[in-house]
Amino acid sequence: MASTTASTEIGYNSKIEGEVVHTQLDSAINWFRKNSLWPMPMGLACCAIELMASGASRFDISRFGAEVMRFSPRQSDVMIVAGTVTYKMASAVRRIYDQMAGPKWVIAMGACASSGGMYRSYATLQGVDRIVPVDVYISGCPPRPEALLDALIKLQEKVKRDRSAKNLKQDSGPAQYGRLGLRLDSPETAGKSAVHA
Ligand code: SF4
C-alpha cells in the first residue's frame, strides 16, 4: 500500500500517495499562478534601474518564476510600479492596469510609488494606490533588488491564499464563466489587503 504524506507544497489539504497528488482545484490553480507571475514593468524613474538589476544573474528573479517581463498588459498579471508617478503619467498607468487580464496584482516599488516620496509637489501623485489597488509596498529610495524579491515572495504567499477560485461551479450557465470556469462577475480585488515589505 502506498504511503500517504501530507504536503503544504502543493496547497492546503493535499496528500501525496505514491506518484499521485490529491489536492483541491483552487489550491492547484493558486499554486500555478504564484509560480508564474508575469510582471508588467512600469518603470517610471530611478527605481526602474533596480528593477532591471533584479533580472541580472546576481539576483536572478527567475528563481521565483517571475523573470518573464512582458511589455504588453495583455500578457502580464503583476504590475511593478517602479518610480515617481506624475499626474501626467497617472492616466496611462491606470489605462495599462485596466488592460491587464484578471486576476492581477500590483507592487509599489520604492518611496515614490508608495507615497510620492520626497516629491511633495503639485506634479506628483502621492502614492500609486490612489489610482490602482496595491498588494505589496516596498520601502526605500531606491529599494535594492533583494527588496523586490522579498516583495515577490510576499505576493506569492498572498496568491497562494487567494479564494477567488472557490467560485468554481459546474451547474451554472456558461455566460457567467470565463477561462478555467472562473466567475466573471467575481471582483478579484474584493477584500484585498495590502502587504508592506
Ligand atoms: S524612490 Fe528614490 S530611487 Fe525610487 S524613483 Fe523615487 S527618488 Fe528615484
Confidence of residue 13 (pLDDT cuts 50, 70, 90): low
Residue 45 in contact with ligand 1 by CB distance below 6 A = yes
Ligand 1 atom closest to the CA of 45, numbered from 1: 5
The pLDDT mean for the chain works out to 82
pLDDT at 2: 42
pLDDT at 189: 44
pLDDT at 29: 87
For the ranges 23-27, 107-111, 119-123, the lowest mean pLDDT is seen at 23-27
Q: Name residue, grid cell 533596480.
A: 50
How far apart CA 122 and CA 81 sit, in angstroms, is 20
pLDDT at 161: 85
Mark out the alpha helices in 79-189 (DSSP H runs): 87-99, 110-115, 145-160
pLDDT at 22: 79
pLDDT at 187: 53
Residue 112 in contact with ligand 1 by CB distance below 6 A = yes
pLDDT (mean) for 155-167: 82
pLDDT at 171: 45
Residue 127 in contact with ligand 1 by CB distance below 6 A = no
Which DSSP string do the residues of 77-105 spell out, in sequence order? SEEEEES--BHHHHHHHHHHHHHSPSS-E
Distance 148 CA to ligand 1 centre (A): 14
Residue 110 in contact with ligand 1 by CB distance below 6 A = yes
Distance 85 CA to ligand 1 centre (A): 10
Predicted confidence (pLDDT) per residue in 45-86, tens digit: 999 999 999 988 899 898 888 988 889 999 999 999 999 999
Residue 47 in contact with ligand 1 by CB distance below 6 A = yes
Edge-to-edge order in the sheet of strand 136-138: 39-43, 78-82, 105-109, 136-138, 195-196
Residue 49 in contact with ligand 1 by CB distance below 6 A = no
Ligand 1 atom closest to the CA of 50, numbered from 1: 3
Distance 145 CA to ligand 1 centre (A): 13
Q: What percent of the chain has pLDDT over 90?
A: 55
Distance 32 CA to ligand 1 centre (A): 32
Predicted confidence (pLDDT) per residue in 91-119, tens digit: 999 999 999 998 999 999 999 999 999 99
pLDDT (mean) for 110-137: 95
- Rounded to the nearest angstrom, the gap between the alpha carbon of residue 165 and the centroid of all alpha carbons in its chain is 16
Distance 14 CA to ligand 1 centre (A): 43
pTM of structure: 0.78
pLDDT at 45: 95
**Pocket perturbation via mutation, ligand 1, pick of 80, 85, 112 by most ligand atoms within 8 A of CB:** 112
pLDDT at 162: 82
Residue 142 in contact with ligand 1 by CB distance below 6 A = yes
Strands 105-109 and 14-17 turn out to be unpaired
